Amino acid sequence: MSNKLISFIFALCLSLGILLVAIMMAEDVVNSAGVAHPDIAGMTVGGDGELRLEHIGQYAFLFQSLLMLLIICLCILGVSPRHRSPYFYAYMAGCYGLMLFIWWQMYFGHQQFMQTGQLSYFMGFPTPTAWQMYGTWFGAIPLMLIYTLGFRKFIYTHADDEAFQALLTEHKSPTSP
């Protein structure tokens, strides 16, 4: 199972690399990485948001979607294959779904604002930015929860601890090679 997982991770990394090359080769726009503020030195502005995403928006959306999948797969790689139960996989799939939902809300909320100019606020920030700031951070909290609450079930079980203690005893004994 680990071999399949690492192959999938490799495929994800390759896809991210290809997307990055595609973005680098896309037609550049003058404000793609911001331009100097007309009045205030040391400050930059983004300018026309639609123009900045015109040639790379879909690539960038896919890039982040794959990157979040890579994060989930790397977390799965860190769990011993013996502990990867169907429940565990379902939970991790749920984590990915949540992260994707937040990313979707952020990206398309931004798109909607650019098209309509209409905006609401949540806890001090425009809603798309609130999805970015609060949402992105909270989106990975389920990973912390399964690590913390499922520590003895998925990460380091009592059987793992016994196996490690036995290994330590064997390795540190005077007769050990």
Partner 1 sequence: MEAYRQEIILGAVFLYMAFCIVTGIWAMRRTKNSSDFFMAGRSLGPIVVSLALFSSTLSGFGFVGGPGLVYSIGVSSFWMVVISSSGYAIGFFLVAKRIRMIAELRDCISLPDIVAARYNSEAVRFLMAVTIVLGVMGYLATQILAMAVVMQAILSGTQMFAEISLVSCVVISSAVLIFYCVTGGIIASVYTDVVQGSIMIVAGGLILITATAVFDGGMQEATSIILANDSEAIMPFGSAGIMASLGWFFVFGLGLAGQPHLITKMMMNKDMADNRTIFPMSLFGYVMAALLWISIGVVMRAAAIDGVIDPLQAPDDAASVFLSLFANPLLAGVVFAGLFAAIMSTSDAFLNIGTAAIIHDIPKAINGKSVENELFWARVVTVLLAAVAASFALYSYYLDATLVALLGAFGWATFAASIFPVVAIGLNWKGATVPGAITAIISALVINFSVQLAGISIPYGISGGLVAFITSLILFIGVSAVTKKPNIGADIEQVLDI
* Cα separations in angstroms, 59 against 15, 94, 127, 132, 157: 11, 24, 23, 19, 41
Q: Which is nearer to partner 1, 75 or 100 (CB)?
A: 75
Please measure the distance between the N-terminal and C-terminal CA atoms of the chain and give it in whole angstroms. 32
Q: Which is nearer to partner 1, 4 or 86 (CB)?
A: 4
* DSSP annotation of 119: -
How many of the other CB atoms lie within 10 Å of CB of 100? 16
How many of the other CB atoms lie within 10 Å of CB of 125? 13
Q: Which is nearer to partner 1, 86 or 176 (CB)?
A: 176
Phi and psi, residue 25, nearest 5°? -90, -10
Name the amino acid, one letter, at 170.
Answer: E
Footprint (CB under 8 A) of partner 1, residues 21-80: 23-24, 26, 28, 31-34, 37, 40-49, 52-53, 56-57, 60, 63-64, 67, 70-71, 74-75, 77-80
Q: Could you give the dihedral angle defined by the CA atoms of residues 125, 58, 142 and 132, in that order, rounded to the nearest 10 degrees?
A: -10
Q: Nearest CA to 97 among 134, 140, 155? A: 140
Contact track, partner 1, 12-31, x by CB under 8 A: -xx-xx--x--xx-x-x--x
Interface with partner 1 (CB under 8 A), residue from 85, 87, 125, 153: 125
Could you tell me the smallest distance in angstroms from the CB atom of residue 17 to partner 1?
5
Q: How many residues bind partner 1 (CB under 8 A)?
A: 83
Interface with partner 1 (CB under 8 A), residue from 86, 93, 96, 119: 119
Could you tell me the smallest distance in angstroms from the CB atom of residue 122 to partner 1?
9
Footprint (CB under 8 A) of partner 1, residues 129-168: 129, 131-133, 136-141, 143-144, 147-149, 151-152, 155-156, 160-161, 163-164, 167-168
Q: Residue 36: beta bridge partners?
A: 44
